[in-house]
Amino acid sequence: MMRNRSKQAAAEATTSGDSGNGNGHLIELQQVVKTYRSAAGDFTALRDVDLSIGTGEFVAVIGKSGSGKSTLINMITGIDRPTSGEVVVGDTAVHTLGEGKLAQWRGRNVGVIFQFFQLLPTLTVIENLMLPMDFCHMYSRRQRRERAMHLLEQVELADQARKMPSALSGGQQQRVAIARAMANDPPILVADEPTGNLDSKTAESVFRLFEGLVDQGKTILMVTHDGDLADRVTRTVVIADGEIIEEYLAQVFPALSERQLVEATRSLEHLTFLPGATIIQEGAPPENFYIVTKGEVEVHVKASNGQEFVVARMGPGEYVGEIELLRGGDSIATVRACIEEGAQVAALDPEEFASLIAQSEAAEAAIGQVADERLAESIARRGANDA
């Protein structure tokens, strides 16, 4: 079968048993709401946000100004607290910590990188790096200096160690800020528009530095307006009006507005299938339109002698079930979760799928073309196998 036209995932998220929260995720937000109260009235910046991030993911958070991006990462870093809901990082319920414990936890577990660097102007570069270690009582005095120099070597600024931040270029200051975020060797780095004030060449060098840190096992969340950079990360989280849009839904229906995608995301049912489990049964009435969000699925068809054979494997961002919903009739193939690792899917019921198709002629045409190609290919392969 033909693959769909949506962008493929850059990489599979990796998880680790070291996450500590029992579900394989390093970061877990559950039904997080953040409402700000003022004399002008209440403003809800986040609305029932659920988000899971695994160890070693490189996640870009994108959305328009005021969409809730910074508020979202402030929940994860503990810079701000949810009005309701839970924020769990590793084995720590961050939303329950008092101010003193929260500062200590953040200093050891999260490195924060700001758009405007936030280096202390009265301290030298190396002193800026040593300060977080001192605050969290990490390492001896000698070890702090040695570690600071090692980090500066990693960002190729060891020769700038004794200079004041004002003597450095913007790109150099941002690399110092990244090194400072790494001072206590935290598992998570959070960057809020880290390349927003840099030229394209310097932004590229900073991004490559992030990629190297991910290769070393760090988990990075990066708020960005740079679409080119967002396309290169492991995963993209799109937020609009305080709600997260399902990434792959946006890829399948790119012509829909953010408001339409938010409404559609609310109607999605997220399902997990164990290895080999049946998602669609050949000959059965169609139930849903399925978008693969993790793992892979296999598409099986039967020859005239009843023997099944695999005609396609589909991964994150690809979809199944569209042929029957668009063309009518019972399911023409059996779809099962990959036997190696299972699969997770986002399911749209037929009514919601029909509604989205009706709202976008471009989506209807693109998905219809894929359906026709898949149907023709399935018939051809079935015939070839019978021969």
Q: Tell me the pLDDT tens digit for each residue of 136-183.
A: 888 888 899 999 999 999 888 999 999 999 999 888 898 898 899 989
| Tokens 């290769």, located at residue | 215
pLDDT band at residue 31, thresholds of 50, 70 and 90?
Answer: very high
Query: Rounded to the nearest 5 degrees, what angle is found at the Cα of 365, between the Cα atoms of 360 and 369?
Result: 150
- DSSP for 212-255, written as a single string: HHHHTT-EEEEE---HHHHTTSSEEEEEETTEEEPHHHHHHSTT
- Determine the CATH number of domain 263-386: 2.60.120.10
Burial of 10 (0-12, 13-18, 19+ CB in 10 A): middle
Q: Taking residues 87-114, what's their average pLDDT? A: 89
Cα separations in angstroms, 39 against 36, 43, 46, 322: 10, 11, 19, 50
Q: CA–CA separation, 253 vs 256, rounded Å?
A: 6
β-pairing, 269-273 vs 343-348, is antiparallel
| Tokens 């999605």, located at residue | 268
Least Cα distance to 353 among 377, 380, 386, 320 occurs for 320
Q: Which amino acid is at 112?
A: V
pLDDT band at residue 7, thresholds of 50, 70 and 90?
Answer: very low
Q: Taking residues 216-237, what's their average pLDDT? A: 85
pLDDT band at residue 359, thresholds of 50, 70 and 90?
Answer: confident
Res 24: pLDDT: 61
Task: Report the 10 Å Cβ neighbour count for 345.
Answer: 27
Q: Taking residues 319-346, what's their average pLDDT? A: 90
* Higher pLDDT, residue 349 or 20: 349
Q: CA–CA separation, 26 vs 134, rounded Å?
A: 26
pLDDT for 292 beyond 90: yes
Res 382: pLDDT: 64
pLDDT band at residue 200, thresholds of 50, 70 and 90?
Answer: confident
Domain-by-domain residue ranges, the chain?
A: 56-70+95-245, 263-386
CATH class of 56-70+95-245: alpha beta
Res 5: pLDDT: 28
pLDDT for 222 beyond 70: yes
Distance from chain centroid for Cα 59:
4
Q: Tell me the pLDDT tens digit for each residue of 243-272.
A: 999 888 888 888 888 888 888 888 899 899
pLDDT for 365 beyond 90: no
pLDDT band at residue 294, thresholds of 50, 70 and 90?
Answer: confident
Q: Taking residues 354-372, what's their average pLDDT? A: 86
pLDDT band at residue 93, thresholds of 50, 70 and 90?
Answer: very high
Q: Which amino acid is at 269?
A: E
Query: Rounded to the nearest 5 degrees, what angle is found at the Cα of 150, between the Cα atoms of 147 and 155?
Result: 130
* Higher pLDDT, residue 55 or 200: 55
Q: Taking residues 189-218, what's their average pLDDT? A: 85
If you average pLDDT over every residue of the chain, what do you get? Answer: 85
What pTM was estimated for this model as a whole?
Answer: 0.74
Task: Give the least confident one: 15-19, 230-234, 273-277.
Answer: 15-19
Helix (H) / strand (E) containing 103:
helix 99-109
Q: What ranges make up the beta strands (E) of the chain?
A: 27-38, 41-53, 58-62, 84-89, 92-93, 110-113, 188-192, 219-223, 235-240, 243-245, 269-273, 278-280, 289-295, 297-302, 308-314, 319-320, 334-337, 343-348
Res 383: pLDDT: 61
Q: CA–CA separation, 136 vs 186, rounded Å?
A: 12
* Higher pLDDT, residue 105 or 225: 105
Burial of 104 (0-12, 13-18, 19+ CB in 10 A): middle
